[in-house]
Structure 1
Amino acid sequence: MRLLLIPLINLLLLLRTLLGLPFRLLAARSRPAYIRFRLTGDPPYREPTRRPRLPLGLGGQGRPEPATVTSLEGFRKALALLAKDPKVKGILVELEGLEVPPAKREVLVKLLEGFRAAGKRVVAWGVSVNSLEYQVMCAADEALLSPAGRLELVGYAAEATALGEGLERLGVKAHFFRRGEYKTAPELFTHPRVSDIQRQTMEAFLDERYTELVDTVAKGRKRTPEEVRAWIDAGPYSAKRAAAQGLIDGVCDEADLPERLGKKREKDGEEEEEGLEPMPMYRAGLVWPEVRWRPLRLRPLLGVVPLTGVITPGKSGAGPGPQRVGSDTVVKAVRAAGRNRRVKAVVLYVASPGGSATASEIILEAVQRVAKKKPVIAFVDRVAASGGYMAALGAKEIWATPHAVVGSIGVFAGKFDVSGLLEKLGVHRTLITRGENSGIYSPMRGFTEHERASMEAEVEEIYQAFLEHVAKARGRTKEEIHQLAEGRVYSGTRAQGVGLVDKTGGFEEACRYAMDLAKVPAERFDLRLFGGADRRLSLLKLLMGGALTGVYAFCPTAWDLQGFGGGERFE
C-alpha cells in the first residue's frame, strides 16, 4: 500500500510546487536581505516526528510566533540555507527570556559563529539580557539593546539552605542517616548552617561557570579576561551605560532595527527600507523551495526516553511544583522503545538529581534489558546525580556535556518527628505498637536504637548495591568507586576524567554515535519520543509523603546548580 500511496503524495507535492511558482516569482523580488529569529525559552535539540499532546518546551504557551526558533536543528538548517543565498546579508537574533543549559548555549554560539564564517552578518538585539543571553549575544557581529533595556551581567550566585534550626523551632525533628560525608542532602533538614562541604561543592561549580563566562565574553568582545572581570564586578548596566563601557555596540528601538540593519534603497523614485522578515516569509519567497518528499522507505528511528525530574515510584502526571518522573512511566517508555522495530538505537536523556533509590534501580534494570537488544546511550546536559546517575548506568555509554552535574553516588534515609509541633498545637496522639520495628514509619517519635540499627543497615546495604552497579558498569572495583563516591559531585569534564562518564559531547554527536553503534548506514534519521509526561512535586513533599521513612538517592545540590543554565525538562 505504501508503494502506491507515496508516489501519489509526492505527485501532489510536485503539483502544489508548480502551481505556486508564479506567486513565488513575484515574492522573490522582495525577498528580505535580513531574516529575523527569536531565541526564547528552552528550544529542543530536535523536534520529534510524533509530538506529544503538550509540545515540549512550549507547554501551555500556544503556537509560537513565526520568528521563534522551535528547535536547534531547525535553526541550523535555516542558517545553512541562508548562508548559500547571495541576496541574504545576515540575520537579526532577538533574545527574550532564553533559558537554555550551557550545552545548548554552546550550540547556539557555534551556529552563529559558523554563519559569520560564511560571510554573513549577525546582529543580536534584546531588551533585558542576562549573563547567559549575553554570551550568545557576544557571538554576533553587533550587539544592541533597546534604549530602555538592561544588561544583567553580574556573574553567578548559588544559594544553599539549612532548615534544621527553623524546623526545631516549629517542633519538628529530622532524623536521617546517610552514607558518605559528601551526601549532603539530609543537611537541608538536620543542620542549622550550610556545611563547609556543601559550600566547597557549590563553589567548585561556580568557579567553572564563572571562568567560562569570562572567557566567552572576552573572546566575543575582543577584550582581556581582566577587563571582562571588571565589567562583571561593575554590573548590572543600563543600556546607555553598557554602550558607553563598550559591552554592546549601540542602542536601538525595535522599530528602528530595519533601518539599522541596511541602507535605504531607491525604488520608483521613493526610498524603501530593506526587508526584515521571519524565516517562513523568506521560504515563501524562494522560487524553488525545499520540498519534503515522502520517502518510499521509512527512515530509521532513534528513540529518545526522557528521565527528567525527581524520580519517584509509580506513574508520572501533571501538576504544579518541581518536576517528578515516575518509574512506571519511564520503564514503560524504555520497553516501548525496545520493542519498536524501527527504533535502531535509544538515547536516555537524563536530567534528574535522583529521588527514590528503589525507583531508580527499577529504571536501571529496564534500561539494562533494552541495552542487551539495541544500543542505548545515556546523555546528560544538565544533571545526572544520585538515582539519576544510577539509572544512566544501564546504558552502553554515558555522554555528558562539560558543565553537566554528574555523580553524587550515595544514599540517605530518614523521617520527620512532628510530635513537638502537634504538642504546640494542642494535638495529642498515642502510638501503640506490636513488633520491635512496627513504629519505624511513625512521625510521632524518633527512631529507637533497634530501629536506628535497622535503618543504618538498610542504608549501608543499598549503598553497597549502588557501588556494585557503578563498578560493574564502569569496569572498576567497588573500592575504586568508593573513593569517587560518598556523595561527591562532578562536572561533566571532571566526571570523564575520573571515569564516571565515557565521553563529553553534544546531543547531536551522541545521537549519531548511537546510530553508528546500531550499524545504520544513514546520515539522516527521525527522532521518536517515548514517554515524557511529568508531574511536579516538591522535595519536602517527596520526603514527607507516603511512607515517611524511606531510602533516597537524591542530590539537592545538583538540583540547585541547574539554575545556572535554565530549566530541567527534556527538549
Structure 2
Amino acid sequence: MKQFFKFMFASMLGMFLTVIISLFILIAIIGGIVSAAGSTPVTFVADHSILHIQLNEEINDRASKNPFENFDFNTFEAKKTIGLNEIKASLEKAKTDDKIKGIFLNLSQLQTGLANIDEIRVALLDFKESGKFIISYSENYSQSAYFLSTVADKVYLNPQGELRFQGMTSQIMFFKDALEKLDIEMQVIRHGKFKSAVEPFLMNEMSPSNKKQMSTLVHSIWNEMTAGISAARGISQDQLNAIADNISIRLPADALKHQLVDALKYEDEVMQELVALSGIEKDEPKLIELSKYKSAAGKENIDEDEDEDQIKNVKEEIAIIYAAGEIRGGKSNAEVMGSETIVEAIKKATKDEDIKAIVLRVNSPGGSALASDVMWRAIELAKAKKPVVVSMGNLAASGGYYISCGANKIFAQPNTITGSIGVFGVVPNFKGLINNKLGVYVDGVSTNKHSDMMINTFRPLDTEETVAITEMVESIYDDFITKVAAGRGITKAEVDSIGQGRVWTGIDAKRIGLVDEIGGLNDALKSAASLAGIEAYEIKELPRQKEPIQQLMEDLSMEAKTYLLGENLGSTYHYFKSLEEVSKRQGIMTRIPFDMRFY
C-alpha cells in the first residue's frame, strides 16, 4: 500500500508540474501574439528607399487578424503577413512616393494562387508607368514566380540557381482502392457529367470527361502565362512552348541563352546595381519590406493638386464584402464562408445609406447548396436597392459561382477558376469498416422507415432513398441553372450546355458568357462606382474582422491542430485536410472538383 501511494503521489506531482509548465508556455505564447498583433507602429520611409517584395507567405484577399494564423511555433514569433488588398494599396502608394525609387522582387518562395498573381502583376505594371525601376532576382524561379517576375526591367538568376520552365500540370489523388480495403462505400448521387468532385472516391483515375475539362483548363492557364511572358520578354509563344517541350532550361546558362533572364548574378552583385539605381553612395541599398511599408501607405503622399478637405468630406462609400472559403451554413472563420456572416454583411451594406454600391469579392470552391442559395437571395435583395458587382479571385466555382451569378456585373482574372455548375450528394457507408474490420456494430430504433436517412452512415441507402436523393439533386441543379440563366440573360438550355459541373478559366468564362469582364478588384470598384453614378468614394470592408484577442480565443485549438498536423504530414497535409472537410459536409453540395492542384 505504501508503494502504491508513493507512485500515486509521484504521478500527481508530475502531472501538476506538466500543467504548470504548459500554462507558463501558453501564457508566453499568448503574450507574444497579443503584443505583436496589438502593435501597429507607423513606418518611417528613408529617402532613396527600394521596396522589397518577397511574397513568401500565403496571400489572402485581406490580411487576417487571427494571431495564430501568423504564429511560428518554432521561433514563438508572429510572422508579418500581408493581404492582397494591402499589397495593391502599397504599390499604389509607392508609385507616387518620392522616397521610393524602385522595387526589388525576390520571389524564391512565392505562395499564392494564379489569379492573385495576375492581380499583383497588373499592379506592378501600373507601378512601372511612374518610370521607376523593377529589378527581379531569385535563386529558384518556379513557373508562377517567373511569370510574375517578367514585369521587371531586368530579370536575374543566381549563377547556380534554377528556373523551372516545362509546362503546366495538375494532379488529383484518388482513394477508391483505399476505401475498398477499409470496406467503406461512398454512395454518390450527382448531376453533371463533369462534376468530378466525387471521382476520387469512385475511381482510380480521371474519367474521360474530367480529363477533357482539366486539359482545357491547364492549357488555358498556360496559354495566358506564356502570352504574358511573350509580351514581356519578346519571345514568341511557339518558342516558349518549344523550350518547355524540349526541357531546354536545364542549367542557369540555358535560361540566359534562351533570353528568359537578362544575366546570371549573385545577390551581392544585384545589391550593388540597386545601390547605383537608387542614387546613394553606400555599400548596401535601403530596402524596406513590403510588410513594413504597408503601415506607411496612405499616410503622407496626398496629391498637392487635390483638395484635402474634399477628400475627408467624401461620404459616398463602396462596400467590399469578402466572401472566402468553403461554403457552409452558420458563421465564417479563417477557412469557411458562413452564410450567416455573409448575409449579415450584405444586409448591413444594403441598409447603410452612405454605401452606394457593393463589390462582392468571391474566393471559394463552393460547398453547401443551401447556404449558397441563402447568400444568393441576400444578393438579389441588395441588387434591388443598389448595384452589386462581383470580383472573382483565385476560385469562384460551383457554390462560389452560384452566389455570383445574379450580380449586375462579374469580373474575373484570366486564370480564375470558375463555373463548375453542378450538384452532388455523398453519403458514406461505414458498415463494412466497423463490422468487418473493427468488429463494431450499431443498432437503434426509429419511428419511421427512413428516419435515419443521410444520418445513419453505418448502413447503405435503399432504392427509395436513392431515388429521393436523386430527386433532390436534380431539383437543386434545375434551380441552379434557372438562376444562372436569369442572372446572365441566357436560356437554361445554354447554361446546361456549359454547365454539367465543368470548370472554366476566367478567360474562357468570358468567352462563353459566364463573366462580363477580365479584370481585378480595382476594375470591379470602378464599375460599381459607374453603376452607382459616383466618382469620389471611400471603401468600407465587410464583414468586420474580429479583434485579435477574440480571434485568438476562438481559433487556438484549430490553429494548434493545423500546425501539429502540418508539421508531421508535410506536403501531404492538404490531402488529409480535404478528407477532413468531406466529413464535415452536410446535405447537397455545389462544389468544385476535388482538391485541384496546379504545378
TM-score range, shorter chain: 0.7 to 0.9
Shift of 1:120: 4.0
Residue equivalent to 1:203: 215
Tell me the amino acid that sits aligned with residue 513 of structure 1: S
Tell me the amino acid that sits aligned with residue 297 of structure 1: N
CA distance in 2, matches of 1:521, 1:400: 23
Residue equivalent to 1:474: 488
Residue equivalent to 1:74: 90
CA distance in 1, matches of 2:439, 2:508: 53
1:35 aligns to 2:47 (yes or no): no
Kindly indicate whether the alpha-carbon contact (under 8 Å) linking 2:65 and 2:545 is maintained by their aligned counterparts in 1: no
Residues 426-452 of structure 1: per-residue CA shift (max 9 Å, x gap): 112235444232232211211111111
Task: Give ranges in structure 1 of 5+ residues lacking alignment.
Answer: 1-23, 565-571
Flag the 1:69–1:495 CA change in 2: closer, same or farther, 3 A.
closer
Residue equivalent to 2:392: 380
Normalised TM-score (structure 2): 0.76
CA distance in 1, matches of 2:500, 2:254: 48
Q: 2:267 aligns with which of 254, 257, 261?
A: 254
My pick for the range that moved more, 175-184 or 295-304, is 295-304
Tell me the amino acid that sits aligned with residue 278 of structure 1: I
Tell me the amino acid that sits aligned with residue 540 of structure 1: L
Q: 2:358 aligns with which of 332, 336, 346?
A: 346
Residue equivalent to 1:483: 497
Q: 1:278 aligns with which of 279, 284, 288?
A: 288
Tell me the amino acid that sits aligned with residue 148 of structure 2: V
Kindly, what percent of the aligned residue pairs are identical? Answer: 26
Flag the 1:387–1:504 CA change in 2: closer, same or farther, 3 A.
same
Tell me the amino acid that sits aligned with residue 411 of structure 1: V
CA distance in 2, matches of 1:266, 1:75: 21
Q: 2:439 aligns with which of 426, 446, 458?
A: 426
Kindly indicate whether the alpha-carbon contact (under 8 Å) linking 2:390 and 2:407 is maintained by their aligned counterparts in 1: yes
Flag the 1:43–1:37 CA change in 2: closer, same or farther, 3 A.
farther
Instruction: List aligned pairs for 1:70-219, cutoff 5 A.
Output: 70-82=86-98, 90-113=102-125, 116=128, 119-147=131-159, 149-219=161-231
Residue equivalent to 1:526: 539
Flag the 1:519–1:219 CA change in 2: closer, same or farther, 3 A.
closer
Report the secondary structure of 1:206's partner residue: helix
Kindly indicate whether the alpha-carbon contact (under 8 Å) linking 1:155 and 1:210 is maintained by their aligned counterparts in 2: yes
Kindly indicate whether the alpha-carbon contact (under 8 Å) linking 1:408 and 1:487 is maintained by their aligned counterparts in 2: yes
Residue equivalent to 2:552: none
Shift of 1:364: 0.8
Tell me the amino acid that sits aligned with residue 521 of structure 1: E
Residue equivalent to 1:220: 232
My pick for the range that moved more, 230-239 or 129-138, is 230-239
Flag the 1:59–1:471 CA change in 2: closer, same or farther, 3 A.
farther
Tell me the amino acid that sits aligned with residue 556 of structure 1: P
Q: 1:443 aligns with which of 438, 457, 462?
A: 457
CA distance in 1, matches of 2:315, 2:64: 20
What is the CA RMSD across the aligned residues, in angstroms? Answer: 3.8
Kindly indicate whether the alpha-carbon contact (under 8 Å) linking 1:305 and 1:532 is maintained by their aligned counterparts in 2: no
Shift of 1:79: 2.1
Report the secondary structure of 1:149's partner residue: strand
My pick for the range that moved more, 95-104 or 499-508, is 95-104
Flag the 1:131–1:223 CA change in 2: closer, same or farther, 3 A.
same
Q: 1:303 aligns with which of 310, 316, 319?
A: 319
Kindly indicate whether the alpha-carbon contact (under 8 Å) linking 1:167 and 1:173 is maintained by their aligned counterparts in 2: yes
Flag the 1:407–1:279 CA change in 2: closer, same or farther, 3 A.
closer
Flag the 1:121–1:147 CA change in 2: closer, same or farther, 3 A.
same
Kindly indicate whether the alpha-carbon contact (under 8 Å) linking 1:376 and 1:395 is maintained by their aligned counterparts in 2: yes
Residue equivalent to 1:553: 590
Residue equivalent to 1:544: 583
Aligned residue pairs total 513
My pick for the range that moved more, 34-43 or 475-484, is 34-43
Shift of 1:174: 1.0
Tell me the amino acid that sits aligned with residue 35 of structure 1: I
CA distance in 1, matches of 2:293, 2:336: 41
Shift of 1:176: 0.9
Q: 2:411 aligns with which of 399, 417, 422?
A: 399
Tell me the amino acid that sits aligned with residue 227 of structure 1: Q
CA distance in 2, matches of 1:478, 1:398: 19
Normalised TM-score (structure 1): 0.79
Q: 1:452 aligns with which of 466, 469, 475?
A: 466
1:493 aligns to 2:532 (yes or no): no
Residue equivalent to 2:30: none
CA distance in 1, matches of 2:453, 2:380: 33
CA distance in 2, matches of 1:122, 1:451: 62
Kindly indicate whether the alpha-carbon contact (under 8 Å) linking 1:43 and 1:57 is maintained by their aligned counterparts in 2: no
Report the secondary structure of 1:520's partner residue: coil
Report the secondary structure of 1:124's partner residue: strand
Flag the 1:446–1:244 CA change in 2: closer, same or farther, 3 A.
same
CA distance in 1, matches of 2:492, 2:294: 58
Kindly indicate whether the alpha-carbon contact (under 8 Å) linking 2:274 and 2:285 is maintained by their aligned counterparts in 1: no
Kindly indicate whether the alpha-carbon contact (under 8 Å) linking 1:38 and 1:96 is maintained by their aligned counterparts in 2: no
Kindly indicate whether the alpha-carbon contact (under 8 Å) linking 1:125 and 1:144 is maintained by their aligned counterparts in 2: yes
Kindly indicate whether the alpha-carbon contact (under 8 Å) linking 2:95 and 2:127 is maintained by their aligned counterparts in 1: yes
Kindly indicate whether the alpha-carbon contact (under 8 Å) linking 1:329 and 1:531 is maintained by their aligned counterparts in 2: no
Shift of 1:282: 11
Kindly indicate whether the alpha-carbon contact (under 8 Å) linking 1:175 and 1:414 is maintained by their aligned counterparts in 2: yes
Kindly indicate whether the alpha-carbon contact (under 8 Å) linking 1:38 and 1:69 is maintained by their aligned counterparts in 2: no
Flag the 1:508–1:264 CA change in 2: closer, same or farther, 3 A.
closer
Kindly indicate whether the alpha-carbon contact (under 8 Å) linking 1:43 and 1:70 is maintained by their aligned counterparts in 2: no
Tell me the amino acid that sits aligned with residue 381 of structure 2: R
Kindly indicate whether the alpha-carbon contact (under 8 Å) linking 1:175 and 1:190 is maintained by their aligned counterparts in 2: no
Report the secondary structure of 2:109's partner residue: strand
Report the secondary structure of 1:185's partner residue: helix
Residues 98-141 of structure 1: per-residue CA shift (max 9 Å, x gap): 33444443344445445555554332112322111111222222
Tell me the amino acid that sits aligned with residue 544 of structure 1: S
Kindly indicate whether the alpha-carbon contact (under 8 Å) linking 2:320 and 2:539 is maintained by their aligned counterparts in 1: no
Report the secondary structure of 1:486's partner residue: coil
Residues 263-308 of structure 1: per-residue CA shift (max 9 Å, x gap): 59999xxx75584443899999xxx963595755244322111221
CA distance in 1, matches of 2:405, 2:388: 10
Instruction: List aligned pairs for 1:17-56, cutoff 5 A.
Output: 31-32=47-48, 35-40=50-55, 41=57, 53-54=65-66
Tell me the amino acid that sits aligned with residue 448 of structure 2: G
Kindly indicate whether the alpha-carbon contact (under 8 Å) linking 1:338 and 1:370 is maintained by their aligned counterparts in 2: yes
CA distance in 2, matches of 1:373, 1:431: 52
Residue equivalent to 1:412: 424
Tell me the amino acid that sits aligned with residue 463 of structure 1: Y
Kindly indicate whether the alpha-carbon contact (under 8 Å) linking 1:389 and 1:407 is maintained by their aligned counterparts in 2: yes
Shift of 1:71: 1.6
Report the secondary structure of 1:306's partner residue: strand
Shift of 1:149: 3.5
Kindly indicate whether the alpha-carbon contact (under 8 Å) linking 2:398 and 2:591 is maintained by their aligned counterparts in 1: yes
CA distance in 1, matches of 2:52, 2:85: 6
Flag the 1:424–1:143 CA change in 2: closer, same or farther, 3 A.
same
Kindly indicate whether the alpha-carbon contact (under 8 Å) linking 2:366 and 2:397 is maintained by their aligned counterparts in 1: yes
Report the secondary structure of 1:392's partner residue: coil
Report the secondary structure of 1:487's partner residue: coil
